[in-house]
A and B are shown apart, each in its own frame.
Chain A
């Protein structure tokens, strides 16, 4: 097979079959290629959780992960926030001709490993190949004279409910608010890579099945969950409490942040509260269950930095008590959250 993806490989003929066999079937279906149906048949339940997400991250490969791992984690975590057990994923690839096949192999392997870690199967997919990038088109990581071929991935996922579905409407005045990991880590990783900053910050992209399922099995009463992705904690809290008579009161001193990430943000004038993650969950539980829930989360692989950061209180908008004792009303991210001079 060629070293670079060609348009022929997207046209549905012999070359497409060879691509699927040598990469996707190999990593996702244990090499099985005989009698592949057009749709996978999956064991479901009375109610299903269903979600979709697309991934266009740049750069494709970064400290701690790649677009493949993101594509699997993102959709799995979205399913988990509803309290569902993820069952199966689809993945659609749109690849620009000229893309390195070796890179595609790495991405597919990463997706397979991440799915295996989460005990979720990738059961169906699709591949399209489009025209290579033109000279003159460029992105931040590209030069106009030498544009790199890119890949875009969509994953959709279904989950079944072994426990009661979770909804944001369950959030009650007095609930404790827990974050399962350090803030802003993934954003800092991507921004570091884009700007050529040298550090050891690695993406926190991870499937959070162990955390969620440990909580569910423990009997702790879960009210709601939400993952902290683009826009960061402030944006997520503003969305959750947009039309509610109460909102989050959180404490800056309790927010877990890696010192390296905090300093990175300072250098670029970024606000940690507007920097996102890919493996960090907000968990709302009754105040009486907070300590128990925290203990369970901290015993999990991706929950060791978890912390109780505040509670749902009698305030109109999400508010932060700052380290020096001041008060700051939180706002959602506006614009792109780029480095500032001002």
Chain B
């Protein structure tokens, strides 16, 4: 239900619209739902920006993956994640 794609904001056109680009494909997107600026990576769904993507989170995920697999390998590590149990 959620065909959406990360794209880069190439140019802001107005309060509500911008040009988003991915590998040479440029489309006009509605930016009313998020605070975007030129150069941001954004999630585009049906011509609308739903979210500015947080690239620092990517690094966080890499750490999470590393812990997942170290934990798996050692059979021991507990990750602090939520109620109901860690890994």
Q: How far is the CB of B3 from chain A (nearest CB, A)?
A: 4
Residue A104 at the chain B interface, CB threshold 8 Å: no
Which stretch, A127-135, A148-156, A255-263, A279-287, touches the partner chain B? A255-263
Mask of B19-61 contacts with A, CB within 8 angstroms, 1/0: 0001111110000000000000000101000000000000000
Q: How far is the CA of A341 from the CA of B46 in the complex (A)?
A: 7
Q: How far is the CA of A340 from the CA of B5 in the complex (A)?
A: 13
Residue B73 at the chain A interface, CB threshold 8 Å: no
Across-interface contacts of A266 in B (CB, < 8 A): 5, 22
Across-interface contacts of B7 in A (CB, < 8 A): 267
Residue A43 at the chain B interface, CB threshold 8 Å: no
Q: How far is the CA of A259 from the CA of B46 in the complex (A)?
A: 21
Report yes or no: B26 in contact with A198, Cβ–Cβ below 8 A.
yes
Q: How far is the CA of A201 from the CA of B26 in the complex (A)?
A: 11
Q: How far is the CA of A267 from the CA of B46 in the complex (A)?
A: 9
Residue A163 at the chain B interface, CB threshold 8 Å: no
Q: What 15 new A-B contacts, CB under 8 Å, besides A198-B26, A264-B23?
A: A192-B25, A197-B27, A198-B25, A200-B24, A201-B24, A260-B24, A263-B5, A263-B23, A263-B25, A266-B22, A267-B5, A267-B44, A268-B3, A341-B46, A342-B3
Q: Name the residue on A nearest B44 (C-beta).
A: A267
Q: How far is the CA of A241 from the CA of B30 in the complex (A)?
A: 45
Report yes or no: A197 in contact with B25, Cβ–Cβ below 8 A.
yes
Across-interface contacts of A200 in B (CB, < 8 A): 24
Q: How far is the CB of A255 from chain B (nearest CB, A)?
A: 16
Residue A31 at the chain B interface, CB threshold 8 Å: no
Give the interface of A toward B (CB within 8 A): 192, 197-201, 259-260, 262-264, 266-269, 340-342
Report yes or no: A199 in contact with B24, Cβ–Cβ below 8 A.
yes
Q: Name the residue on A nearest B19 (C-beta).
A: A198
A342 in contact with B1 given A198-B27, A263-B22, A263-B23 (CB within 8 Å): yes
Q: How far is the CA of A263 from the CA of B27 in the complex (A)?
A: 12
Across-interface contacts of B46 in A (CB, < 8 A): 341
Kindly identify which residue among A267, A340, A341 contacts B22, using a CB–CB cutoff of 8 Å. A267
Q: How far is the CB of B1 from chain A (nearest CB, A)?
A: 5
Across-interface contacts of A192 in B (CB, < 8 A): 25
Kindly identify which residue among A262, A269, A341, A342 contacts B23, using a CB–CB cutoff of 8 Å. A262
Q: How far is the CA of A267 from the CA of B23 in the complex (A)?
A: 11
Report yes or no: B25 in contact with A260, Cβ–Cβ below 8 A.
yes
A199 in contact with B3 given A267-B44, A341-B46 (CB within 8 Å): no
11 A-B residue pairs with Cβ-Cβ distance under 8 Å, sorted by A, are A197-B26, A197-B27, A264-B23, A264-B25, A266-B22, A267-B7, A267-B44, A340-B3, A341-B1, A341-B3, A341-B46
Q: How far is the CA of A199 from the CA of B10 in the complex (A)?
A: 14
Across-interface contacts of A342 in B (CB, < 8 A): 1, 3
Across-interface contacts of A259 in B (CB, < 8 A): 23-24
Q: How far is the CB of A204 from chain B (nearest CB, A)?
A: 16
Across-interface contacts of B25 in A (CB, < 8 A): 192, 197-199, 260, 263-264, 267
Q: How far is the CB of B10 from chain A (nearest CB, A)?
A: 11
Report yes or no: A269 in contact with B3, Cβ–Cβ below 8 A.
yes
Across-interface contacts of A267 in B (CB, < 8 A): 5, 7, 22, 25, 27, 44
